[in-house]
Structure 1
């Protein structure tokens, strides 16, 4: 009960100070508002930017190991000459991996290859620079294929290399603007394909990464009618084998070890020979992205901390002034039996309350930013960032108000009453 009364009295004094010295208080709170706005805005934009970049890279899948000719690399020198003469994964290696890998460590193995720059035609409509991707039936187990209308391939269509296709949203709505595209036909490279499915619209991405909207999936056998799978060098289309891991294998360490051993066995590599294939994992990309945005977030926090520092000085100043103006009241309270901790808590709560008002104003400004419509990047403020902003406001209030509060608590009641 005493705590509630103390809190109520502190809030009442803080509100009275806010009303009686409105302009002074607003100017003092402005520093906290700007500081909280700066830090939370930076964190919010960085979080949204990172989420958008990760969404742009979702085409690589999750918990997947890719067996390929070229290893992924991020920054620095890339020794391409070491990998140029490596063979690309083949259909035979894909089939052997399917047989050798244990089902406990994987949820599917798929082979796929892609080439861009294709032109699709349907009547008087045509689309250029379309990605044509040949896949095996298991591709849906490795990568997300969000079919919105129609269906995915059947095993019979894959095995018979039929000329059927699952197309992206933009392809369907540009080639066939009137009505459904399912069951309609288009031509490319002199071949006629029937659309059996249309994928969901992904929309604009933050990065210029492959999008399902302009992607055309066809059976791998049908794809090889147009592009021969290359076994090395730069000619033809280079195949990639994707292996989907399981939740029971954290970090996919067991799967990676098994795939490495199986590929070395398939290619007949001796114990001392280096791998002539690359095992690429999306985690490599995720780690690079996290490291980059961690640096950006720290830099933004350092810049915003200077604004918060200024705000803290402003709150400390207004609290010193408040203690001076209410010295007589402090003396009366002490003469009536108020304890030192009561006076200290009263002014400390007042400082915290004022900082919370400034912090809430800063968070409100950040929330206004999230209302600005964005095509490539949607800005959202998470509950964690809201709690962080309020927590920083409380911390600023404690640091800025502790010295004035101690000064008020240590006053001699007789001298305080005599002051004017």
Structure 2
């Protein structure tokens, strides 16, 4: 695989890139780095999420500059944003930056969606190198915007050689993926697991500190504080089970979440940790009794924080979101427990089982770590992705859209 990928030129088009927080952002960085380690020449083109260079939240909607940098062997171009209007980013420099990246030589363009700005930019190009799209999630909540944007998606998804679903469970519920079912392939998202499997001294120190501060049981939530994460369900469940809830993340629902915690009488039992540096986050996982993952919509298609918890040997309590990869990542009875969507009592009952049933939490934690190592390592994901690229590059002429050049373009 290393010899086959040596010199392969890959351009990832993400929305944002770390230190911006978020599952898609972490995935793009992890995949880009892992592909580069296998010998590919990898670039990332994305939106500059912040005015400065150290912001972690992409809720910022002001003006940011364009800048280029290197993330190890990965070249990263963060294109400046002038404004954000109705979730569309105004980026006058994007066409030039995209053309410059293509002119440096690209064998595969890998787009990560939902990503309206990049979709429109690619639609405007008369030709493209072979295109692969990872479909991270359907547009669920913004129904009107999604319907208006669908024709632009269809144009690009028609041009793509391959479409990647993060799990086979997501495909039957996605009208867009079902329409192009013959081009869909599965690529489970992976992570670099070593920081969780063999924690650093700083992570172990953080674990001890979190244990001392929070006591036991410690329930953990990790992710952006947005509508589909189920924050309010978790707060209501906390009224029915003992322990402390640590909420790791930032987002537009933080203040409403704090108000809800006060109204429910659990304000003193919730720690709003905000964004945590890597070692602090590893320590929080290790100190936790379980990860609560009560997401409530198919906008949550996967859940990378589940894998982080699993690699840390921590059981996951997730939800049975129909046609989502969430309950596939952590399997009920093997690596955690799965409860109905939006059911605070069921979430609390599952948490109490971990406290009351002898050996259950330990058994699920061991199963969680084993599944993470077997299925979700970053190097395995990278090798699978390069195999998918090879398949896309070998697509015969009759599978290509009409009216496109034959010389390595689709």
Task: Normalising by structure 2, report the TM-score.
Answer: 0.23
The higher radius of gyration belongs to 1
The structure with higher relative contact order (CA 8 Å, sep 6+) is 1
Choose between structure 1 and 2: higher helix proportion. 1
Task: Normalising by structure 1, report the TM-score.
Answer: 0.22
